[in-house]
Amino acid sequence: MPEIDNYQVYNDRMRRSMWDKAFFMDKVPGTELILDYGCADGSLIRFLSEIFPAMHFIGFDIDPVMVEKANADRRENTRFYSTMPELLEGIRESGIPGEQITIYFSSVFHEVFHYGFDLSMLKELIRRISPQYLVVRDMMYQSGTDEAMVSAEAEERVRESIPAAQIRDFEEIWGSIRLRRQMVHLLLKYHYTENWPRECAENYFSYTDRELMEVLDPDGCYRRIFYSRYILPWIRYDVEQNLGIDLGEDFTTHYTLILSRKTLRRILL
């Protein structure tokens, strides 16, 4: 994975839409411990731990620099780890059973699939903990067709508004922004100039629903209790206000998903 050039800018970006990232808190009853998998500098955990001081929060990130930043401002009810043995030991020490644990993945899987990480460790973590809930919030382009084109007027507006060198970098990797999928891809990342080489090369739409479920629930132990697709509001606002483009309603940029572990015996109504 390429290094992050500017951690301050990267983390400030991740703090946007904090309430949107906390969408699941009223949808996981019985949860006593939340594991934020891919916690970065721990901003979401700090946000949630102040609102829910009686709950326990654990953050995990493979970047030790991020975990060091998180631990520098750690609350009494929070813990942060950068290795899997430490994480498992921290969960064991909490004494909280799997049926009271929620694992949350916010903007994690598009990176996991793009960079080709070994997913066996994550699968094993889910099997060992057997959490009651698995929660995902991430980017995924979903439309009636991947071949839809944008209007010539919209393309012209974008080329006039975004630096030509930035668009050239993007199109060299992903292809023409005349294709709506790629135009949306660019509009999601064009502000991130401080870490542009990393962001430009990263595939925000790197996986499918089927590939996700093969990681989260290969054994069929969970059922879907919540699913939503949408365009992130601040993205819609930015594109409309700064570029004068209406994104419409024909596609989505993000989704949220909650899986709940199945009970041994259910009686259907």
pLDDT at res. 5: 47
pLDDT at res. 48: 94
d(CA 187, CA 170): 11
pLDDT at res. 266: 62
Backbone angles phi, psi at 205, to 5 degrees: -120, 60
pLDDT at res. 10: 42
pLDDT at res. 144: 81
Sign of CA dihedral 236, 241, 243, 249: positive
pLDDT in tens, the chain (269 residues): 454 444 444 445 445 567 888 999 999 999 999 999 999 999 999 999 999 999 999 999 999 999 999 999 888 999 999 999 999 999 999 999 999 999 999 999 999 999 999 999 999 999 999 999 999 999 999 888 878 999 999 999 999 999 999 999 999 999 999 999 999 999 999 999 988 999 999 999 999 999 999 999 999 999 999 999 999 888 999 999 999 999 988 889 999 999 999 986 666 66
pLDDT at res. 263: 81
Our CA angle for 256, 90, 221, nearest 5°, is 45
- Residue 240's SS3 state is helix
Q: In the chain, which ranges are continuous DSSP H helix?
A: 7-15, 18-21, 43-51, 64-72, 84-94, 109-115, 120-129, 152-161, 164-174, 180-189, 196-201, 209-216, 233-238
* Model pTM score: 0.89
Q: Where in 82-215 does DSSP place strands (E)?
A: 101-106, 133-143
**Residue with token string 């991740």:** 14
d(CA 47, CA 19): 9
What are the residues whose beta carbons fall under 8 Å from the beta carbon of 29, sequence distance 6 or more?
none
d(CA 34, CA 38): 12
pLDDT at res. 264: 63
Contact 239, 245 (CB under 8 A): yes
**Residue with token string 């994480």:** 87
pLDDT at res. 207: 95
User: H/E element holding 188?
Assistant: helix 180-189
User: H/E element holding 93?
Assistant: helix 84-94
Our CA angle for 143, 247, 139, nearest 5°, is 50
pLDDT at res. 16: 56
